[in-house]
Amino acid sequence: MPRVQVLGLLRFSYPSVYNRRGEDDFEAYRATLYDPARLDRRLLWFEYVVLPSLAKQTDPDFLCPLLVGDQLPEPYRGRLSKMCAAVPQVKLCLEPEGQRHRLAVKALMEAHSDETADAVAEFQLDDDDGVADSFVEMTRAYFDLAEPLLDLHKRVTLDFCSGIMLRADAGGIALKPVQERLWTPALVTYRRPGLRTILRMVSHLELWQHMPCISIDKPPMFVRGAHEDNVSNLSKRWGKHGTDDSDPDEIAAVLRDRFGIDLVAMEKARAALP
């Protein structure tokens, strides 16, 4: 049986430079990322969405390096470290700030790639995303479909395209099932260990232009966060995705049972934010 390393990229408010123009306003960008109110909100999502979903995996054989700036201030560094210690598969990586984002990701992922594996299955989660409890297990199981294609192509993408949008804003928490192609949570790319990572090198929406893509339409495999700090602005685009005809209680039960997400505890923690 082929040995597949499952390797996930996590990021938490890492101050990077995306392009040359970004060098001019890096300090302002860094100050925005490290605003205490923002960090409190991001830690809440990380604690109540990301980590529970990873801790609940039916296959515990995976590794998630967490890209964090080496100047992340206290008490946030200590709080983040304590959270990660509860999930042994998450490895806190304090990296020098101000690197080109793609190069920082490339160095981190390739440093943690297992060169003795038959394949590396890469994925990425933002600090407000989650994956279902069978995600790692299914990532390995579907390699049987991907391997023949991998022998013909350098890489193959596996797209679990069904999930749940979780919005938390001033109006409270809202849930909505969604099917979207090539969204980043629960999106896997298989590669041979000797090849460079493609994470953050190619837009996730353009992966189909570079390799075969296998789409799996069920069950729900990801949670995508939508809130005031979301870079994708999903909260304001809420009506453009998914359907509103589902029972919220049923969706909440799926979040609890398959993702380990306790919405009551999350809302209580949100209410306690400064």
State pLDDT tens for residues 173-229: 889 999 999 898 999 999 998 888 877 667 766 777 788 999 999 999 999 998 666
Higher pLDDT pick, 243 / 7:
7
What's the whole-model pTM score? Answer: 0.91
Quick one: pLDDT at residue 71? 96
**Residue with structure tokens 């060098």?**
23
Q: Taking 60 as the threshold, does the pLDDT of residue 268 lie above it?
A: yes
Kindly report the CATH number assigned to the domain that includes residue 54. Answer: 3.90.550
pLDDT at residue 233, rounded to an integer:
53
Instruction: List the domain range (segments joined by +) for residue 67.
Output: 4-271
Percent of the chain with pLDDT over 90: 69
- In the prediction, which pLDDT does 188 show? 96
The confidence score (pLDDT) of residue 174 equals 87
In total, how many domains does the chain have?
A: 1
For residue 89, with 0-12 CB atoms within 10 Å meaning exposed, 13-18 middle and 19 or more buried, which class applies? middle
